[in-house]
Amino acid sequence: MAETNSLVINHLNKKFDVDKKQVEILKDINLTIKKGEFITIVGHSGCGKSTLLKIIAGLVGYSEGEIIRNGKPVTGPDTDCGMVFQEHRLLPWLKIKDNIGFGLDKSDKRKWNEAVRKYIELVKLQGFENAYPSQLSGGMSQRAAIARGLVTNPDILLLDEPFGALDALTRVQMQKEILRIWEEQQTTMIMVTHDIDEAIYLGNRIVIMSARPGEIKEIITVDSANAKVRGSADFSYYKQKVYKHFFEDKSETIEYTI
């Protein structure tokens, strides 16, 4: 594996035991992700997208295949791989600064404070360090969750529909924020989403998964800068490329030249 790769998945399969029967969830997943890439994954509910993220994180085992993260086989959770969920999962009894720094070593308080302050500033939560989660909006809570995921300086950050519970306006704002953070930090990011617009706006590559068992149907490289402009012809072109995997009606097909 080349040193520029953050993640290599070879012929990965996952089965669950359900009612004494084995149900295939993921089938022959092959994916290589370079350091600093932003990968988005889209697919029908139940196709195994979130399970794949949990396997990458080392939270769930797999049945067959190989998964290598930062040059080493994945055997369990590690600080080199952070994760942000759809719900912020902040601890309600801790202040925001303590939630963000929860996974850090507190033996050196100065370093702890510096790291927490850095990521509070990165997600623009200055002034809310001593607030509790119940005092923050949904978008602000997700900012704190993202900071918590990044504070250990992971090589990979996994995002499992992190904006799914937000209202439309807040969601668009958070998409801009996560893109800004990615551009500043150059952390490898892998996001699961049901929002096709979000997948195009954020992803360098879009991984399209089939219905269960989840297989990779296509990987679309978003190689046009104009594709990041919503409403542009390029954006619409990529949107149609993704749509064709989920909708059978071809009657409204439009050709775009880019």
> In this structure, what CATH number is given to the domain that contains residue 206?
3.40.50.300
Q: Which two tokens stand for residue 46?
A: 């139940």
Give the model's pLDDT for residue 156: 95
Q: Which pTM does this prediction carry?
A: 0.89
The model's pLDDT over 228-244, given as tens digits with 9 standing for 90+, comes to 888 899 999 999 999 99
- Structural domain includes residue 187: yes
* Angle, helix 109-122 to helix 168-185, in steps of 10 degrees: 130
Radius of gyration of the chain (CA): 19
The pLDDT of residue 248 is: 64
Whether residues 140 and 160 share a domain: the answer is no
Q: Which of 153, 185, 203 represents a domain boundary (last residue)?
A: 153
What is the domain extent for residue 145?
86-153
**Within this chain, do residues 90 and 215 fall inside the same structural domain, yes or no?**
no
User: Domain for residue 6, yes or no?
Assistant: yes
**Does residue 43 sit in the same domain as residue 161?**
yes
Specify the residue for token string 């958070």.
174
Same domain, residue pair 107 and 140: yes
Low-confidence ranges of the chain (pLDDT < 50): 1-2, 250-258
Query: Is residue 45 located within the same domain as residue 142?
Result: no
* Mean pLDDT taken over the chain: 89
Q: Please tell me whether residues 33 and 139 are part of one structural domain.
A: no
Res 140: pLDDT = 92
Q: What does the pLDDT read at residue 111? A: 93
Whole-number Cα distances in Å, 3 to 10, 19, 73, 141: 17, 43, 14, 35
In a domain, 48, yes or no: yes
Same domain, 40 and 148: no
Same domain assignment for residues 204 and 95: no
Q: With respect to residue 69, please indicate whether it lies within any of the assigned structural domains.
A: yes
Is residue 217 included in any domain, yes or no? yes
Same domain, yes or no: 118 and 60: no
Tens of pLDDT along 65-117?
A: 999 998 899 988 888 899 998 888 899 999 999 999 998 888 889 999 999 99
Q: What Å distances lie between residue 35 and 66, 77, 116, 188, 202, CA to CA? A: 19, 19, 24, 6, 16
Whether 102 and 187 map to the same domain: the answer is no
- Do residues 113 and 24 share a domain? no
In-domain check, residue 171: no
The structural domain count of the chain equals 2
List, in sequence order, every beta strand (DSSP E) within 19-129. Answer: 21-34, 38-42, 64-69, 72-73, 81-84
> Given this model, what pLDDT does residue 252 score?
46
